[in-house]
């Protein structure tokens, strides 16, 4: 029997998304639509097993209409344990947690698969923080983590093959519908498949031996799960890294495995953990185009009969529909799309496309948190990952009159939440435009999608019934006149200008002035980047594209030190290609008409940027505290949030907006 049936569309769906909401059956399991959440680590474990928080997280996506959830990568064997928290699927104690996830999601008609992996040499630290003893097919070093692995002994290979089977068996016991094996992203299976990394002399050596290893794992898993569970594999269509698997190699591997009947589906992604460039594509940032993995999926789909899944920057149902309609794939992974809006499938199904809070691929609170070891969330939707706390909005006991001072991201979120709870909310914005600093952030090269955050929050406010008044700054007199029950102060921040020696002779402009087109920038620019965030990188790119010579002097180890790794690394590659000169460890000291004076933050030695005719300050922000001070003697309830509390990022502002909206 072909384990794959493509079925007709249900009658009630939104007319434009006919492919997206056509059910799909694989090995007797019917998926109600073509939207799935790819495996992604949530950092919501308790002692290595799924927690209540993780169950609630996945249930929110199932309730929002996902057709399939693939639970995060789990360790198939103890030799794969690293400092990165992952489900210990080699231990029977994982079963109850998986069962709770399956039960919770099945209740909403959503299928659930488990995902199994082994990092191989992609392992920097052991769980206790010491450097791990990593194993790979051969002793070939890893660039990203600077690891020299040991060649994996034969006995360990046999144990790992058996371990994949045993772990999959636990998933069967837990009631999961399928298992996905990771051969993507440069992890152990990919290492075995790659002849540049697999120099073994035994039966698992070279291309053939590597495929033998993968086939034995798949056979071991199939033995354990029986005939009624789905078995799929994840592959990077292009690992996009030095010495990594190339698209034609991946295609040959995929076609061989699929056409030999070992797999029920193939799941295409991109990138590799082996280096900084390849790892960018594990979770592609906004500078990467939408649905860019689909052509790799399509090339494989043309040669196999099993369904093809694909993911990578498919953030809107219309994009997924196009991928499906073009026949590039059969299921669309929309992972961050549902981290950002768990209700996205349901909204698409019911024609509420304008209400979808599209992911902007900022990578801040999802993979950004995960890589730093914190539970994942979303900057636009801080309720994500906090479902136990904010999963249900509690209606207000008594509607109150709430004033929000400031229409940046934090103020908008506070307004939307307070109004959704039933309060009478008026938001006052001093300028003519909502969005605060997000309006500047979207002007940085490759960051236009950041503006989606403003559009999404504006829509949330509209739906909740917030009254919005622009061009009106709030002061104490206005508060005395309006007499609200509570004020949320979200008045933001302004650029910080540090005291500088000799500055009266220098041509100095701020990052904001450059972005707003209000600065006369000369031909030879030094960008003084104190924060090491998006602004310095973006200004450097913008100005070199405008034809300037650009020196990016960063008070840190590297530009972008403070921002999510994959965003930073993509940008560092881009500015290097463009010829930006980077000066690390540089404290701004002073400037005159043709020199910017820096000091090395470690040696204390001077660094002179001679010939510079413009200094651009990207030196952070200072809170606007005027309204807060004016309300110090006011007797009503005051909440101070976001940058006017302390200048940070949109993430903290929106989270504090949520908290204020719930508290008022």
Ligand X SMILES: Cc1cc2nc3c(=O)[nH]c(=O)nc-3n(C[C@H](O)[C@H](O)[C@H](O)COP(=O)(O)O)c2cc1C
- Give me the residues that bind ligand SF4 (CB under 6 A), please: 336, 339-340, 359-366, 378-380
Q: Does 171 bind ligand X (CB under 6 A)?
A: no
* Min dist. Cβ of residue 441 to ligand SF4 (A): 12
Give the one residue of 120, 333, 385, 435 binding ligand X; rule: CB under 6 A.
333
* Min dist. Cβ of residue 344 to ligand X (A): 11
Q: Does 595 bind ligand X (CB under 6 A)?
A: no
> Whole-angstrom Cα distance, residue 507 to residue 222?
69
Judged by DSSP in three states, 120 sits in coil
Instruction: Give the phi and the psi of residue 533 in degrees, each rounded to 5.
Output: -120, -150
Alpha helices in 75-230 (DSSP H): 95-106, 154-173, 188-193, 206-225
Nearer Cβ to ligand SF4 (341/429): 341
Closest CA to 583 of 526, 498, 502, 523: 526
* Min dist. Cβ of residue 465 to ligand SF4 (A): 24
Nearer Cβ to ligand SF4 (163/446): 446
- Sign of the torsion formed by the C-alpha atoms of 349, 353, 355 and 360: positive
> Whole-angstrom Cα distance, residue 284 to residue 231?
26
Residue 362 burial (CB count, 10 A): 29
Cβ 438 vs Cβ 411: under 8 Å: no
Q: What is the largest CA-CA distance in the chain?
A: 83
Judged by DSSP in three states, 206 sits in helix
Task: Tell me which DSSP letter residue 280 carries.
Answer: G
Q: Does 376 bind ligand X (CB under 6 A)?
A: yes
48 binds, among ligand SF4, ligand X, none (CB under 5 to 8 A by kind): none
CA dihedral 81, 87, 92, 94 (to 10 degrees): 160
> Whole-angstrom Cα distance, residue 524 to residue 549?
5
Strands (E) in 275-396, as ranges, are: 308-311, 331-333
- Sign of the torsion formed by the C-alpha atoms of 177, 179, 184 and 186: positive
Give the one residue of 105, 311, 438, 658 binding ligand X; rule: CB under 6 A.
311
Contacts of 15 (CB under 8 A, 6+ apart): none
> Whole-angstrom Cα distance, residue 511 to residue 528?
10
Q: Does 308 bind ligand X (CB under 6 A)?
A: no
Q: Does 527 bind ligand X (CB under 6 A)?
A: no
Give the one residue of 20, 24, 41, 427 binding ligand X; rule: CB under 6 A.
41
Q: Do β-strands 595-600 and 606-610 pair in parallel, antiparallel, or remain unpaired?
A: antiparallel
Q: Does 116 bind ligand X (CB under 6 A)?
A: no
> Whole-angstrom Cα distance, residue 356 to residue 318?
11
Nearer Cβ to ligand SF4 (214/378): 378
> Whole-angstrom Cα distance, residue 120 to residue 138?
10
* Min dist. Cβ of residue 475 to ligand SF4 (A): 34
DSSP per-residue letters across 586-608:
EEEEEE-SSEEEEEETTT--EEE
364 binds, among ligand X, ligand SF4, none (CB under 5 to 8 A by kind): ligand SF4
Kindly state the tokens that stand for 205: 């050596």
What are the C-alpha distances in Å from 364 to residues 90, 178, 258, 490, 504? 31, 30, 36, 21, 38
Q: Does 312 bind ligand X (CB under 6 A)?
A: yes
Determine the interface stretch with ligand X among 118-126, 305-313, 340-348, 490-498 (rule: CB under 6 A).
305-313
Determine the interface stretch with ligand X among 200-208, 312-320, 508-516, 607-615 (rule: CB under 6 A).
312-320
> Whole-angstrom Cα distance, residue 315 to residue 356?
10
Q: Does 278 bind ligand X (CB under 6 A)?
A: no
331 binds, among ligand X, ligand SF4, none (CB under 5 to 8 A by kind): none
* Min dist. Cβ of residue 158 to ligand SF4 (A): 39
Cβ 571 vs Cβ 537: under 8 Å: yes
340 binds, among ligand X, ligand SF4, none (CB under 5 to 8 A by kind): ligand SF4
> Whole-angstrom Cα distance, residue 154 to residue 522?
64
268 binds, among ligand SF4, ligand X, none (CB under 5 to 8 A by kind): none
> Whole-angstrom Cα distance, residue 501 to residue 200?
62
Q: What is the CA radius of gyration of the chain?
A: 26
Cβ 345 vs Cβ 64: under 8 Å: yes
Nearer Cβ to ligand X (78/395): 78
360 binds, among ligand SF4, ligand X, none (CB under 5 to 8 A by kind): ligand SF4
334 binds, among ligand X, ligand SF4, none (CB under 5 to 8 A by kind): ligand X
* Min dist. Cβ of residue 365 to ligand SF4 (A): 4
Nearer Cβ to ligand X (336/507): 336
Instruction: Give the phi and the psi of residue 226 in degrees, each rounded to 5.
Output: 75, -170
380 binds, among ligand SF4, ligand X, none (CB under 5 to 8 A by kind): ligand SF4
Give the one residue of 44, 45, 69, 73 binding ligand X; rule: CB under 6 A.
73
Q: Does 370 bind ligand X (CB under 6 A)?
A: yes
* Min dist. Cβ of residue 117 to ligand X (A): 7
* Min dist. Cβ of residue 318 to ligand SF4 (A): 17
Annotated catalytic residue: which of 187, 265, 566, 585? 187
* Min dist. Cβ of residue 57 to ligand SF4 (A): 13
Q: Does 313 bind ligand X (CB under 6 A)?
A: yes
Nearer Cβ to ligand SF4 (357/621): 357
100 binds, among ligand SF4, ligand X, none (CB under 5 to 8 A by kind): none
379 binds, among ligand SF4, ligand X, none (CB under 5 to 8 A by kind): ligand SF4
Contacts of 137 (CB under 8 A, 6+ apart): 120, 151, 152, 188, 191, 192, 197, 198, 199, 200, 204, 205, 210, 213
Nearer Cβ to ligand SF4 (117/340): 340
* Min dist. Cβ of residue 451 to ligand SF4 (A): 12
Q: Using CB under 6 A, which residues numbered 419 to 458 contact ligand X?
A: none
Q: Does 75 bind ligand X (CB under 6 A)?
A: no
187 catalytically annotated: yes
Nearer Cβ to ligand SF4 (235/454): 454
What are the C-alpha distances in Å from 179 to residues 70, 225, 230, 275? 8, 8, 6, 27
Q: Does 237 bind ligand X (CB under 6 A)?
A: no
Determine the interface stretch with ligand X among 101-109, 363-371, 571-579, 585-593 (rule: CB under 6 A).
363-371
* Min dist. Cβ of residue 312 to ligand SF4 (A): 13
Active-site annotation, residues? 187
Please give the residue ranges that form the binding site for ligand X (CB under 6 A): 38-41, 72-73, 115, 182, 234, 269, 282-283, 311-314, 333-337, 366-367, 370, 376
């Amino acid at each position: 029997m072909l384990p794959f049936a493509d079925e007709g569309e249900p009658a009630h769906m939104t007319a434009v998304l006919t492919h997206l909401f056509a059910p799909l059956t694989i090995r007797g399991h019917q998926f109600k639509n073509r939207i799935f959440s790819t495996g992604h680590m949530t950092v919501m474990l308790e002692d290595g097993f799924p927690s209540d928080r993780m169950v609630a997280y996945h249930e929110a996506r199932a309730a929002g209409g996902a057709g399939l959830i693939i639970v995060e990568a789990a360790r198939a064997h103890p030799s794969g344990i690293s400092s990165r928290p992952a489900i210990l699927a080699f231990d029977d104690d994982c079963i109850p947690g998986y069962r709770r996830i399956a039960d919770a999601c099945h209740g909403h008609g959503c299928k659930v698969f488990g995902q199994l992996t082994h990092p191989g040499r992609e392992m920097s630290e052991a769980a206790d923080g010491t450097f791990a003893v990593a194993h790979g097919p051969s002793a070939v070093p890893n660039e990203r983590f600077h690891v020299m692995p040991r060649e994996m002994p034969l006995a360990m290979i046999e144990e790992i093959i058996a371990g994949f089977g045993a772990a999959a068996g636990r998933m069967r016991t837990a009631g999961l519908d399928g298992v996905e094996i990771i051969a993507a992203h440069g992890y152990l299976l990919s290492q075995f498949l790659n002849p540049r990394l697999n120099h073994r002399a035994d039966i698992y050596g070279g291309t053939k031996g590597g495929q033998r290893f993968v086939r034995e794992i798949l056979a071991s898993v199939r033995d354990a799960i029986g005939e009624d569970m789905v078995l799929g594999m994840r592959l990077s269509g292009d690992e996009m890294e030095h010495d990594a698997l190339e698209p034609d190699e991946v295609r040959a591997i995929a076609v061989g495995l699929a056409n030999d009947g070992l797999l029920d589906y193939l799941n295409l992604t991109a990138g590799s953990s082996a280096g900084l460039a390849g790892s960018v594509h594990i979770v592609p940032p906004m500078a990467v185009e939408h649905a860019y993995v689909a052509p790799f999926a399509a090339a494989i789909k043309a040669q196999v009969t099993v369904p093809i899944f694909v993911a990578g920057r498919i953030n809107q149902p219309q994009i997924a529909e196009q991928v499906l309609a073009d026949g590039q794939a059969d299921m669309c992974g929309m992972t961050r799309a549902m981290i950002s809006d768990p209700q996205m499938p349901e909204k698409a199904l019911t024609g509420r496309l304008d209400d979808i809070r599209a992911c902007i691929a900022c990578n801040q609170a999802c993979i950004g948190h995960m890589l730093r070891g914190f539970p994942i969330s979303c900057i636009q939707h801080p309720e994500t990952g906090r479902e136990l706390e904010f999963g249900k909005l509690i209606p207000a006991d008594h509607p109150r009159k709430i004033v929000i001072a400031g229409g940046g991201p934090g103020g908008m979120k506070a307004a939307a939440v307070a109004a959704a709870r039933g309060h009478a909310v008026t938001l006052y914005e001093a300028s003519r435009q909502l969005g605060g600093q997000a309006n500047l952030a979207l002007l940085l090269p490759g960051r236009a999608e950041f503006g989606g955050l403003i559009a999404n929050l504006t829509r949330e406010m509209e739906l909740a019934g917030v009254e919005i008044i622009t061009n009106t700054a709030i002061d104490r007199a206005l508060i005395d006149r309006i007499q609200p029950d509570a004020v949320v102060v979200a008045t933001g921040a302004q650029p910080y200008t540090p005291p500088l020696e000799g500055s009266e002779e220098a041509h100095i402009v701020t990052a904001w002035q450059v972005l707003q087109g209000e600065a006369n920038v000369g031909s030879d620019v030094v960008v003084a980047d104190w924060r090491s965030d998006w602004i310095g990188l973006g200004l450097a790119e913008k100005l070199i594209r405008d034809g300037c010579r650009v020196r990016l002097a960063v008070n840190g180890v590297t530009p972008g030190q403070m921002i999510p790794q994959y965003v930073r690394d993509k940008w560092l590659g881009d500015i290097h290609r463009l010829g930006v000169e980077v000066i690390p460890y540089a404290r701004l000291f002073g400037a005159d008409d043709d020199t910017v004076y820096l000091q090395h933050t470690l040696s204390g030695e001077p660094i002179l940027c001679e010939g510079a005719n413009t200094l651009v300050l990207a030196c952070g922000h200072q809170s606007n505290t005027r309204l807060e001070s004016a309300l110090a003697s006011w007797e009503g309830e005051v909440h101070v949030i976001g940058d006017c509390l302390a200048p940070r990022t949109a993430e903290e502002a929106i989270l504090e907006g949520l908290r204020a909206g719930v508290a008022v």
